[in-house]
Structure 1
Amino acid sequence: MTLLYILAATLAGGLLSVLIAASLTVGVLSRVVHHLVSLSAGVLLATALLNVLPEAFESKASPQALFATLLAGLIFFFLLEKAELYRHSHHHEGDGHHHHHHFDQQQAGRGGWSVLLGDSIHNFCDGVIIAAAFLTDTQVGIVTALAIIAHEIPQEVGDYIVLLNAGLSRSKALLYNAMSGLAAVAGGVLGYFIVGPWVDLFPYLLVVASSSFIYVAVADLIPQLQHRLSMRDTLAQLAWLAVGMVTIALVVKGLHHH
């Protein structure tokens, strides 16, 4: 049953963003992607700080060792971002960042395949994290999967817009994103069979997952929101952040009661 949960969660994370992108026009996607970034940042921070880290610290593992793992995880994802494998570009024409004309075409032409490679590696790692979370506890697995899905939607939508504006057909852009998303399924299955026997490592894997969530939210997503905006747009950002945080808080509370 746990393997079925992992398969369902990784499939949802990989394909939901593709279905959303397929159902909306580029104009609509360009207008909503920054709201999705705010929502994703709230979800990631709330998941790490309200659910996954508390679960890890309830174990018998040393708090000092867990904090050291958290620090090492943050440094690791910083270095991985330096290698341009982990970070996903959310920037595209029409996102409010004043890119020059043909920016998307240049980005896709120079780095389209590297973006897809980075997506695939990140999705594979997400699959392993989802597997570890479900093997720890079904509740932790559900909340972790929700956080990853919320994070994947703006990432994949942003990549889809870049590929589409670069001249790829809708079907090809969606196909490439879907194939990248399926790497999460491979990571989930491999994680189930490899991580499963190493129960004592689960608290540390949860902390690594939290460091990933915190780093992406603080170093990647939130800086995109730090622009001089009107009061209305600022309140909209705060509202979407709050929606993400409250949603996770309610999910955690609801699962604790069952």
Structure 2
Amino acid sequence: MTTLAWILIAGLAGGVLSVLFATIALKARVEWVPVMVSYAIGALLGAAFLEVLPHALELTGDFQRIGVTVLGGILLFFLLEKLVLWRHCHVEACEAHGAHAPAHDHGRSGLMITIGDTMHNFVDGVIIAAAFLVDMKLGVVTTVAIVAHEIPQEMGDFLILLHSGYSRGRALMLNLVSSLATLVGGVLGYYALAPVQQAMPYMLALAASGMIYVAVADLIPGLHKRVELSHTGAQIVLILAGVLTVWLVGGLAEEWFGAAAEQLGHEVHGH
């Protein structure tokens, strides 16, 4: 398959599948949200430090510029979150629909979260495209990390929409429409980034900074609300499970794509 085909598949997986999985999990037990958050932290940090940043450094070798880009990216995502363009909510007691929120806000918080989620999904699509343009294995690992953190995010968004007065059907439809922004971001990212390969190391550094920011600034603080030793132990295990998943997926993807490339080479030489 072509690189664009992989990006299209990953965009659909990062968007539609995460919404469907989140809806299924939400119907099962709301208590699954903290579990998915812990796992998502591990997946995001694992992808950022084990795959994305090493690839960025391999491409440029300039540690200082990559470090400055990561730092600038973290500040950028901080500003975006302040402007409510990069909005997350992974637990029911978030400020958008927690104890101090009105019982019914006539859809205002739901509209805000939908706009923010659409922007966030679009950026995810661009990140996926950048990863696949550099390396197929990196693209697969990045997609896994994005799907992992999208599931608890979509669960939180779904709760906000219900709180805002939307029906379950309409809330699901809004989440699905918003998730298509991942696909749009992937396609636009492919056509915008393919001609400027020299910018790819810094795009990867920005992608890593986004993963790190979401994990450290958005997800981890929520885990500190449960300080019991048993919960802390479970959180650590789940974070490590997320890291391990990224490591295993990276190894399997490298083996699969390596075998595919070798087979293609044999076919070319055979002709």
Is 1:70 aligned to residue 70 of structure 2?
yes
Measured in 2, the distance between the counterparts of 1:110 and 1:184 equals 23
Say which is worse superposed, 123-132 or 222-231, in terms of deviation: 222-231
Instruction: Summarize deviations over 1:153-206 as a string: whole Å, max 9, x none.
Output: 110111112212443222101100000000011111111111110011111100
Is 1:115 aligned to residue 113 of structure 2?
yes
Deviation at 1:249, TM superposition (A): 1.3
Q: Which amino acid aligns with 2:73?
A: G
Matched residue, 1:250: 248
Matched residue, 2:262: none
Matched residue, 1:46: 46
Measured in 2, the distance between the counterparts of 1:243 and 1:115 equals 29
CA-based RMSD = 2.0
Q: Which amino acid aligns with 1:175?
A: M
Measured in 1, the distance between the counterparts of 2:55 and 2:68 equals 16
Deviation at 1:55, TM superposition (A): 0.6
1:25 and 1:34, CA in 2 relative to 1: closer, same or farther beyond 3 A?
closer
Number of residue equivalences: 253
Measured in 2, the distance between the counterparts of 1:167 and 1:87 equals 19
Q: Which amino acid aligns with 1:18?
A: V
TM-score computed with the length of structure 2 as normaliser: 0.87
Query: 4+ residue stretches of structure 1 with deviation over 4 A?
Result: 103-108
Matched residue, 2:15: 14
Measured in 1, the distance between the counterparts of 2:202 and 2:80 equals 19
1:140-219 paired onto structure 2 within 5 Å: 140-219=138-217
Query: 8 Å contact 1:90–1:158 — kept in the other structure?
Result: yes
Q: Which amino acid aligns with 1:147?
A: A
TM-score computed with the length of structure 1 as normaliser: 0.91
Deviation at 1:238, TM superposition (A): 1.2
Measured in 2, the distance between the counterparts of 1:104 and 1:130 equals 37
Q: Which amino acid aligns with 2:192?
A: I
Give 5+ residue unaligned stretches, structure 1. Answer: none
1:21-100 paired onto structure 2 within 5 Å: 21-24=22-25, 26=27, 28-92=28-92, 99-100=98-99
Say which is worse superposed, 108-117 or 4-13, in terms of deviation: 108-117
1:107 and 1:219, CA in 2 relative to 1: closer, same or farther beyond 3 A?
farther
Q: Secondary structure at the match of 1:84?
A: coil
